[in-house]
């Protein structure tokens, strides 16, 4: 039995891709005292309501998965929302957790926190050693703020609050609206539509040269649980797959899974974002966690979900 199996766990963000899957996996793993609130019941951007919810429920553990996420276009179009929402959600939940003596909090961040031109693979100590990628700077600042709140609350108040940094996440439950989706879900939607319409070409943003690391949703969920049970260190921790792919390589893999025979037109008027985002996850690997889902396997599962639920 794990240390926190019987603890009351507040899962903030249970309706998103990661949160909904994490809820199911926690139950499968014997964590049966999980509380949550729908967004229409609790807006975590409201400080008073957030404080009241945590004060009334008194969780032992908080898993802070909630936040505003989206792809490169959404980040460019709505930077104020991406900064404000992620900043205020982190501040409200972390402060309410501190005031109510939460035993442990895990905050889900993003590899976007690292500098645009960080040395690869990106180690935890590379944080704030250079400028952010401009296309997601607002989101990155919000996530860095949450990360630093965890660290400073530990320094000043002795809180066991830990920030976890994943790479690009994907899987069932993702958004497939190309206006706000990440690269995998956007490509699945575009390529499937092109196949159905017998289109010979697809226009894809950027040069296709940018490289990204991808982690399947189940693997990040088990990573969160592993950190909950096995890591209490003062520093944030990377949780990645350990391999990256160019967007052109990703396009080819998804194209083969879907069975599309057309080609991509790479529209270089649009930005690539960071040239490369590959994380050094040696710290969590040394603790005994490792990802289990290959990119090809995860993409097949994700495409099947798309076919069954999003058409």
Q: Which active-site residues does the annotation give? A: 139
Q: Which CA distances in Å does 31 have to 3, 25, 105, 229, 284?
A: 10, 9, 16, 12, 22
Going by DSSP bridges, is the β-strand pair 211-216/244-246 parallel, antiparallel, or unpaired? antiparallel
C-alpha span between 18 and 172 (Å, rounded): 9
Q: How far is CA 28 from CA 22, 24, 129, 139, 290, in A?
A: 10, 6, 40, 32, 19
Tabulate helix, strand, coil % of the chain (nearest 5): 45, 15, 40
Q: Residue with structure tokens 């690292």?
A: 114
Contact between 66 and 11 under an 8 Å Cβ cutoff? The reply is no
Beta-strand pair 237-238/263-267: unpaired
Length of the chain: 311
- DSSP state at residue 33: -
3-class secondary structure, 42 = coil
Q: Beta-carbon neighbour count of residue 12 at 10 Å?
A: 27
User: Do 109 and 147 form a contact (C-beta atoms < 8 A)?
Assistant: yes
Helices (H) and strands (E) in the chain, counts: 10, 12
Residue 237: Cβ-neighbour burial (10 angstroms; 0-12, 13-18, 19+): buried
Give the three-class secondary structure for 282: helix
Reduce the DSSP state of residue 213 to 3 states and report it: strand
């Amino acid at each position: 039995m794990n240390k926190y199996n019987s603890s009351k766990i507040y899962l903030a963000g249970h309706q998103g891709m990661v949160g909904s899957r994490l809820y199911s996996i926690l139950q499968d793993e014997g964590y049966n005292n999980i509380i949550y609130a729908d967004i229409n019941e609790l807006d975590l951007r409201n400080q008073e309501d957030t404080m009241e919810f945590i004060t009334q429920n008194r969780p032992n553990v908080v898993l802070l998965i909630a936040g505003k996420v989206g792809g490169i276009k959404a980040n460019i179009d709505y930077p104020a929302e991406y900064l404000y929402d992620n900043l205020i959600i982190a501040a409200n939940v972390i402060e309410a957790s501190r005031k109510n003596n939460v035993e442990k909090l895990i905050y889900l961040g993003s590899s976007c926190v690292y500098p645009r031109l960080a040395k690869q693979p990106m180690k935890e100590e590379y944080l704030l050693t250079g400028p952010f990628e401009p296309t997601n700077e607002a989101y990155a600042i919000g996530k860095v703020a949450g990360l630093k709140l965890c660290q400073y609350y530990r320094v000043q108040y002795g809180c066991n609050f830990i920030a976890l940094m994943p790479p690009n996440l994907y899987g069932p439950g993702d958004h497939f609206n190309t206006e706000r989706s990440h690269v995998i879900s956007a490509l699945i939607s575009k390529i499937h539509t092109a196949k159905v319409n017998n289109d010979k070409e697809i226009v894809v943003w950027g040069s296709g040269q940018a490289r990204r690391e991808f982690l399947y949703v189940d693997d990040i969920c088990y990573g969160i649980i592993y950190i909950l049970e096995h890591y209490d260190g003062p520093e944030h921790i990377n949780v990645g797959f350990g391999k990256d792919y160019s967007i052109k390589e990703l396009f080819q893999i998804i194209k083969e899974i879907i069975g599309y025979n057309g080609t991509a037109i790479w529209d270089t008027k649009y930005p690539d974002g960071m040239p490369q985002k590959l994380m050094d996850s040696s710290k969590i690997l040394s603790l005994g966690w490792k990802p289990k889902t290959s990119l090809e396997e995860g993409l097949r599962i994700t495409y099947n979900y798309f076919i069954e639920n999003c058409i």
